Amino acid sequence: MTDFARRHPIWAAVIAILVAILIWMIFALWPSWLVDLIGKKKVFLNALFNGITLGGLYFLVASGFTLIFGLMRNVNLAHGSLYLLGGYVGYEFAELTGYWLLAFPAAFIVVALFGILLQLGVFRRMEGQDLRQTLVTIGISIIMADLMLWGWGGDFYNISAPSWLSGPLETILVTTQKRSGDLVYLKYPLVRVVIFLAAVTIGVGMWLLLNRTKIGMLIRAGVDDRDMLSATGARIQLVFLGVFAFGAGLAGIAGVVGGTFQSVAPGEDIRFLLASLVVVIVGGMGSIPGAALGALLIGLAEQFGSVYMPTYAVVLTFLIMVGVLAFRPQGLMGRS
């Protein structure tokens, strides 16, 4: 970080000022002119937190995508279908057993197994043919979307969180002051906070796994030069299989999270595929910190967009993408 500040002093200063303004906007009691200008503080805080938690969800989906891409150069356009499959599996499992928490390992395992099947049956057969692999994943996503529509119909499913997670969380953030002088504190759904924390934990865990363990070393070496890695005797096919299963499983978990936040329905696969595409394009292909930054940016842009400029909320995210592409084609955190 000090390195960045030394190399780009002006940018660092701009970012510091923005962060300071943001912190002030979160904690301070808003003066009336600011309320007149952009509306209530409660709306702003809700948009901010919704954006951050949505970013957490996007990170879960996109990190698997970017991990698979980084190692295998395989753009898995069926990633959205894996997400949706995870959502359905999680829903069925939660309904069956009645335990919300069990939906996560179930979705992870089922979708990871499916991922292993994909890797063994499809991708290994056409290694090195990026374009053909991509086309195949498009075909798979078309077929999977229709099979899932066949199996579960066009209804919306909602995975209900357990009662100990359902209430609101009293935060220490002040939204406004009543006439009597009492402070009004912000209430925020507990489940979103918990899930966001879980996403952060997974993210940090992945970072540690990649940077501090032997397996991570293998994976990073594979990202840099997989021919050289396999020449040193590492069983690269096993690494591929593991990473693919893990990335797919993450998408499955994200499906359960998405089903709890919002709902599981046909069409969500495309939505989350696009979201993860934009996230990894903005953040930089194959980079986990990039996926985190991109997910945060896109989640915030979507939520603030839908609050402050409702008509063009979606377009805002694509404008960010176009801007990044125009000035930094490799993504914010990508290596050129």
Nearer to other proteins, 138 or 215 (CB): 138
In the complex, the residues that contact other proteins under the rule CB under 8 A are 73, 75, 77, 129-132, 134-136, 138-140, 142-143, 145-147, 149-150, 270, 274, 277-278, 281, 285, 311-315, 318, 321-322, 325-326, 329
In whole angstroms, the minimum distance from the beta carbon of 214 to other proteins comes to 30
Nearer to other proteins, 220 or 328 (CB): 328
- What is the three-class DSSP state of 184? strand
Output the smallest distance, CB 74 to other proteins, in A: 8
Q: How far is the CB of 185 from other proteins (least distance, A)?
A: 35
- Asked if 44 and 38 touch (Cβ cutoff 8 Å), the reply is yes
> Which of residues 55 and 189 has its CB atom nearest to other proteins in the complex?
55
| Cβ-contact 60, 276 below 8 angstroms | no
Name the residue nearer to other proteins (CB basis): 135 or 231.
135
For the CB of residue 142, give the shortest distance to other proteins in the complex, in Å: 4
Q: Which residues contact 191 (CB under 8 A, 6 or more apart)?
A: 161, 165, 166, 260
Q: Cβ 326 to other proteins, closest distance in Å?
A: 7
CB of 45 within 8 A of CB of 186?
Answer: yes
User: Most distant CA pair in the chain: distance in Å?
Assistant: 74
The burial class, CB within 10 Å (0-12 / 13-18 / 19+), for 247 is buried
307 vs 322: CA distance, rounded Å: 22
Cβ distance to other proteins smaller for residue 164 or 312? 312
